[in-house]
């Protein structure tokens, strides 16, 4: 177990954890504003195919990432219109968005089977990015550093800016925020778009960094895990990084254990985990004991102003 080995393992862990961290950060902002968007998986896939397709057409991965974010945001806005303006049930609409995203991305992706892009690799100089030791810091795709930046930026935004305070207020007590004069629906729309954008970038991580190809449903349930992560982090950004990396560490540990002949967890556990997570999330959020839970008080409830 030398340093080389540890560095390689760390690189794998970072690769597994980053997309979940990105998607969870976006979803955290959405949930903090009081909206429960279960369609993370769908938005990630739409972002994945958008990023792949644009990179393939323009040979510019940055354009791909921007378009992935835009595509994710658009998909989320579709959800937003249904939920905020037309008042449909958030859980059902979110699930529908997830399924829609799977289908739409598969449809758009049909022409891209067999196409490969170069991976969206590190922008640091070759010597640093491929150095046996320094690559653990400098060898990653820009999206990895972006993920860390966004977690801290989101935490700073929510806790230290006035705008963030407004967003939190909208999520905790929408009627009071409305009576003070803030546009609850407007704030929620922005939060939903932001969440969709980050989910789109998370999806693009799959199709542009981990495996620069397009395959249907390539996110394989990570969106559900990101949803659960937000709950397990207690809706606090400081715990998001810990949670995402814990998941990444566990999955990598499982692979190393298997490859070395050991058995850490029953293998069916991993296959069912995304769906177990979704069930647990919904159970926790629906729990009547709001006082104990740190969930935003208006999470999942439609905004029904009396005035």
Partner 1 sequence: MSVLTRRNFVKAAAAATTLPILGGRAFAADPLKVGFVYLGPIGDAGWTWAHNKGRLEIEKALGSKVVTSYVENVAEDASAVPVMRDLVKQGNKLIFTTSFGYMDQTLQVAKEFPDVMFEHATGFKRDKNVSTYNSRFHEGRAVLGTIAGMMTKSNTIGYLGSYKVPEVVLGINAFTLAAQAVNPKVQVKLVMIDSWFDPAKEAAATETLANLGCDVITTHTDSPAALQVMEQKGLYGFGQGADMSKYAPHAHLTAIEDIWGPYYTSRAQAILDGKWTSTDTWWGMKEGTVKISPYNAALPKEVAAAADKIQAGWKDGSYSVFTGPIAGQDGKEKVAKGVRMEDKDLAVIDWYVNGVQSS
The reply on whether position 173 binds partner 1 by CB under 8 A is no
Query: What letters, b where the CB count within 10 A reaches 16 and e where it falls short, cover 63-94?
Result: ebbbbbbbbbbbbbebbbebbbeeeeebbebb
| 8, 58, 238, 286: which one binds partner 1 (CB under 8 A) | 8
Calpha distance 295→305 (Å, rounded): 21
Name the β-bridge partners of 116.
213
| Nearest distance from C-beta of residue 295 to partner 1, angstroms | 29
Q: For residues 116-135, which are near partner 1 according to CB under 8 A?
A: 116, 119
266: Cα within 13 Å, side-chain hemisphere: 4
CB-facing half-sphere around the CA of 239: CA atoms within 13 A: 11
Task: Please select the residue that binds partner 1; options are 153, 257, 279, 297, rule is CB under 8 A.
Answer: 257
Q: Which is nearer to partner 1, 118 or 305 (CB)?
A: 118
Query: Is residue 256 a contact point for partner 1 (CB under 8 A)?
Result: yes
User: Is the distance from CB of 205 to CB of 69 less than 8 angstroms?
Assistant: no
- Return the structure tokens found at 116: 């490969």
DSSP run (H or E) holding 159: helix 142-160
For partner 1, which is the closer residue by CB, 26 or 212? 212
User: Is position 271 an interface residue for partner 1 (rule: CB under 8 A)?
Assistant: yes
- For the CB of residue 84, give the shortest distance to partner 1 in the complex, in Å: 31
Site string for partner 1, 188-207 (x = CB under 8 A): ------------------x-
Q: How far is CA 203 from the centre of its chain?
A: 8
Where along the sequence are the contacts to partner 1 (CB under 8 A)? 5, 8-9, 11-12, 15-16, 19, 106, 109-110, 112-114, 116, 119, 206, 210-220, 222, 251-252, 255-263, 267-268, 270-271
């Amino acid at each position: 177990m030398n340093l080389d080995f540890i560095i390689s393992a760390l690189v794998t862990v970072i690769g597994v954890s980053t997309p979940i961290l990105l998607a969870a950060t976006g979803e955290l902002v959405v949930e903090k504003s009081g909206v429960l968007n279960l369609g993370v998986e769908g938005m990630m896939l739409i972002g994945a195919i958008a990023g792949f397709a644009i990179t393939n057409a323009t040979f510019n991965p940055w354009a791909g990432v921007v378009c992935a974010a835009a595509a994710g945001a658009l998909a989320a806005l579709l959800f937003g219109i249904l939920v905020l303006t037309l008042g449909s049930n958030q859980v059902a609409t979110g699930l529908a968005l997830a399924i829609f995203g799977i289908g739409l991305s598969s449809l758009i992706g049909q022409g891209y089977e067999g196409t490969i892009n170069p991976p969206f690799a590190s922008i640091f100089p070759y010597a640093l990015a491929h150095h046996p030791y320094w690559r653990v810091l400098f060898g990653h795709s820009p999206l990895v550093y972006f993920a860390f930046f966004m977690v801290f930026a989101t935490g700073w935004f929510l806790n230290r800016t006035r705008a963030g305070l407004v967003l939190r207020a909208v999520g905790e007590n929408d009627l009071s925020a409305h009576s003070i004069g803030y546009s609850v629906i407007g704030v929620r729309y922005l939060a939903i778009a932001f969440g969709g954008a980050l989910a789109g970038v998370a999806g693009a991580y799959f199709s542009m960094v981990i495996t620069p190809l397009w395959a249907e449903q390539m996110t394989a349930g990570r969106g559900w895990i990101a949803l659960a992560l937000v709950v397990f982090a207690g809706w606090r950004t400081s715990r998001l990084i810990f949670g995402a990396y814990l998941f990444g560490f566990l999955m990598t540990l499982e692979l190393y254990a298997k490859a070395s002949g050991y058995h850490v967890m029953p293998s069916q556990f991993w296959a069912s985990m995304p769906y177990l997570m979704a069930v647990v999330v919904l159970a926790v959020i629906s729990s009547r004991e709001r006082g104990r839970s740190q969930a935003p008080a208006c999470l999942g409830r439609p905004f029904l102003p009396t005035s």
